[in-house]
Structure 1
Amino acid sequence: MKKDELEHFNGKDGAKAYVSYKGRVYDVTDSRLWKNGKHVNKHGAGMDLTEAMESAPHGVEVLERFENIDALDGFRVQKDQVRGKKEIIKKLYRIFHPHPMLIHFPMGLLVFTVIMQALFLYTRKASFELSAFYSLVTAVVFTFPTIFSGMVSWWVNYELAVNKIFIYKISFSFILLVMGIIEISVRFFLPDISSVAGWGGILFNFMIFANIPVLAVVGFHGGKLSWG
């Protein structure tokens, strides 16, 4: 397939959506992330994505899930040229992948927090409640660099494109952070709040367990970015 032929398959007005990567043409028409031939309001169908994939948060395995329908004529890999501060950041990001690396810490720690809190409520052993508190503090501390690295990733990889996935992911990340700060503050000033009878204790424990569904929303939309 020639490059000018590929451009006709842009996903608009009922046309199929094709993209190419390193000389291979893929049909992404049925992907929800390529609706109307647009991907995260940045990439368009009918184009070669070889250079764009170099800074993507996912690898070629995402494209390989789709049918390889043709080869792109005259394909030639172009060498990277570092131009300006953003290109340097892109290169560093591709080497270290800070957001995928950092995000697993607060996620795992928050799940551990909920498990420890549940064990405390079941056994009434103070060691479980203390473990939950320490785990929560550590999770919130890690949430700050995690959100920052996520914002850098949004800028570097998606040009700050706005769609529902990013809106949900960013909004619920900050909701999770605010919840964690409130929970730590309440527990710090009211050390026995977890075992207090009445609405105060019920509300505090509810907030601790509510971390899981909020975290699930963040993780789900992060997964949609990587896997479609």
Structure 2
Amino acid sequence: MGFFRVLPSGDVNLRAPKPAPRGSVINLAKGQTIRLAKTDLITATVSWPPSTDYDVYAIVHYQDGRQVVVSTFGTKDSPRSFLTATPDGAVRHLGDVQRGGGTTATETLEIRMSPQIAAVAPVVYSAQSNGTGSFRRYQVTMRIEGGSPTVVVPAPNASDDNRVYTCVPGIIRNTPDGLQVESLELYSRPDSEHRPAIDPQLGVVMDAGPVNAYK
């Protein structure tokens, strides 16, 4: 790995072939990106206070335009139909974590960024059945690991609307030069249960997908 620095433009770019310090961590502000060398496996872990019950899923966009959702729950039209891994095994959900004790709750996605995958967008969802409670009260943090440095995408601008149920912290794109992680911190419309989608330009469009199943 190389040495990374934050540039005025908001990009975090590879500058020189010096190894990054072991265990180093880079925090991305909204709109910033970082390029990482490709590795066999990365993990996207999303964390939040255990006093609420969020659900994490991933939208996987393939180079041929297909989109697959990796989730532990279905949609309103197909509540029992869902995939905890893509058919090729490239992206896997490691299991649902519910409300409970401890100081932090986490759910993890394993990502093997094969050449067929164009982008992966982890999504954090707080179902209506959880009751009210804004993302500002229960802020989420996404952590990308699999090499050095570790990339952290916090949510300092979290919506304080109790009726906002979906947050996309960031997106991981597969480029010829390596993996690009961009901090997005996007939120759904109030009262919307629609899933987001990834457009052909590999941007995230909120509220463009099917409605989540009531959980």
Which protein has greater RCO, CA pairs closer than 8 Å, 6+ apart?
A: 2
Greater Rg by CA: 1
Q: TM-score range by the shorter chain?
A: under 0.3
Of Structure 1 and Structure 2, the greater helix share is in 1
Return the TM-score normalized by structure 1. Answer: 0.25
